[in-house]
Amino acid sequence: MFWGGQNIAFAAMVMRVVEAFLITAGLLICISYLTGQQDVFATTGLVIPLIAAFAVVVVLQVSGLYGGVTVSDLRTSLWRIGMDTALGFILAVIASGQLAKYDLVKIYPYRWQWTIGLTAVWLLCVIARRQTLSVLLEKGLLARKIIAVSDADGSRRLAELSRRLRGRFVVAAEMEPVSAFFDAKLTSLVSKLRAPEVVISAGQKDELVPAATVFQRMTGIPVVDFDAFYERETGQVELACLPERWPFPSREFQTPLLRAAKRIFDVTVSLVAIAATAPVMALAALAIRMEDGKPVLFRQTRIGLNGCEFTLYKFRSMRVDAENGSSPLWAAENDPRITRVGSIIRKFRIDELPQFFNTLRGDMSFIGPRPERPYFVEQLADVIPCYKARHTVRPGITGWAQVSYHYGASFEDAYQKTAFDLYYVKHQSVLLDLIILARTVKVILWPTGAR
């Protein structure tokens, strides 16, 4: 009954389908008009437009333009979408050229006019639609209507979450938890308001489980616990409501087969990454040595799986005496301890590349919570509920918190990132790992927030 997996919003799927349709239709019309070929609507004629549509939508997805952040800066949006569109069309041209070798598709006479014209028109349509969507979201016109079975405290928590996720959902009706699932009014409200689900947000939720289960089976209307609803909508666990001890095992990767598969994946990715980035690492090492001398590598003790210590490797991006005479410090924005080379390699995450050797050794995984220093672990564990539950999985080079939250440099940031990390620990799965991989590509392509 209670579900807490990854939510694929219907509106987001519609957005992808509509944009793919616009690209495909635009290509067909332009090709037909400008080349004079009337048979482009045949099955083979559809291949190239469909490839182009798929390539552009994939690039937009990876770059994060289907994320929850709405367009606010028109110039930035136009630049990003333009770059993504260009990359998508390049991928489409490459794919079409490969298919053409096997006579699977018809190659149309190239006309630069339809390429530029289509791109310009499509960009304007996308910008206009995204700006319209942003306004509608701000006004709450696209908010999902939910029905809450809640007490006073549950109403407050739902209201706070609604304010935080502006435009995502609205509580259209509330019912008292005592008899809600035995009241015919609940079914009629769901039908009248077209609510997609009922959310239980009450202190005595365990007592409501039997009645809610019967209600869901009889009506087919999903009933969701507030904790699962909160996690689904935010990608975080609600730390303030966690018990003293972490009660959730990591689910999918507990099986030996999947643990082995993840380890094979880690080793494969690490070997490929080391081979592919060897020239970059060599240049980074040379630049660090020329600017600030030895050592090139920075070694630091971190806490890993089951609370065990290990040595983490990074390219040194700060002065050698960065922490002389002081306790450990987080990197601040425009930190004066960062060298000129360090600011560059941090921005593009080049300083993290030696951690692939940690992954090869088994100290880390490619995906998992970021390992923290013992000094900060002890401090954070005293103030953040279930903080050490992060150590029940292997730490990672990238992770759910890294791709969902900006660089953390305070206790408040650590609190928010822990909420993401524990979500990963609780819901760890192949699907979630694939989502993190896609978002990691976006972070690399658009390196914002690095320090």
DSSP secondary structure string for all residues of 325-348:
TS---PPPTT-TTB-HHHHHHHHT
Q: Which residues on neighbouring strands pair with residue 199, listed in sequence order? A: 148, 224
Number of H helices, E strands in the chain: 15, 8
- Boundary residue ending a domain (205, 234, 263): 234
Residue 269 lies inside a defined structural domain of this protein: yes
Cβ pair 198, 177 in contact under 8 A: no
Tokens read off for 211 = 């009645």
200 DSSP β-pair partners: 149, 225
- Select from 93, 110, 138 the last residue of a domain: 138
- CA distances in angstroms from 403 to 64, 225, 277, listed in the order given: 10, 26, 21
Domain membership flag for residue 5: no
pLDDT of 7: 39
pLDDT recorded at residue 318: 87
Q: Which domain holds residue 369?
A: 252-321+330-445
- For every residue of 246-260, DSSP letters joined together read ------GGGSHHHHH
Question: Does residue 241 form part of some domain?
Answer: no
Question: Could you say which of 176, 199, 234 is where a domain stops?
Answer: 234
Separation of alpha carbons 270 and 256, rounded Å: 21
pLDDT of residue 262: 92
Q: Does residue 423 share a domain with residue 274?
A: yes
Q: Comparing C-alpha atoms, which of 428, 46, 106 is closest to residue 248?
A: 428
**Does 243 map to a domain?**
no
Q: Are residues 355 and 417 in the same domain?
A: yes
Q: Same domain for 264 and 220? A: no
Claim to verify: residue 285 and residue 421 sit in the same structural domain: yes
Judge if 364 and 425 occupy the same domain: yes
Find which of 20-29, 224-233, 238-247, 251-260 is predicted with most confidence, using mean pLDDT: 224-233
Residue 169, beta-bridge partner list: 144
User: Residue 311: which pLDDT band, with cuts at 50, 70 and 90?
Assistant: very high
Predicted local distance difference test score (pLDDT) of residue 410:
78
pLDDT band at 349 (very low <50, low <70, confident <90, very high): confident
**The pLDDT of residue 257:** 85
Rounded Cα gap, residues 145 and 84, in angstroms: 34
Query: Between 205-219 and 184-193, two packed helices, what is the crossing angle to 10 degrees?
Result: 60
Same domain, 84 and 159: no
Q: Is it the case that residue 93 has pLDDT exceeding 70?
A: no
Considering Cα of 114, then 115, then 119, then 125, what sign does the dihedral take? Answer: positive
**Total number of domains constituting the chain:** 3
A 10 A CB-CB count for 261 gives: 13
- The DSSP-derived string for 50-96 is HHHHHHHHHHHHHTTTTSSPPP--HHHHHHHHHHHHHHHHHHHHHHH
Phi, psi of 278 (to 5 degrees): -55, -45
Same domain, 271 and 402: yes
Does residue 374 carry a pLDDT above 50? yes
Judge contact between 387 and 237, C-beta under 8 A.
no
The answer as to whether 389 is a domain residue is yes
Handedness of CA 258, 263, 266, 271 (dihedral sign): negative
SS3 state at 366: strand
Model confidence over 403-431: pLDDT tens digits? Answer: 888 776 678 889 999 999 999 999 988 88
Going by pLDDT thresholds of 50, 70 and 90, the confidence category of residue 348 is confident
Residue at 27 is within a domain? yes
C-alpha neighbours within 13 Å on the C-beta side of residue 361: 13
Q: How far apart are CA 408 and CA 386, in angstroms?
A: 18
> What is the amino acid identity at position 239?
L
β-strands 309-315, 297-303: how paired? antiparallel
Residue 92 has pLDDT above 60, yes or no: no
Residue 377 to residue 388: CA distance in whole angstroms: 8
The predicted model gives 63-67 an average pLDDT of 55
Report yes or no on whether pTM surpasses 0.95.
no
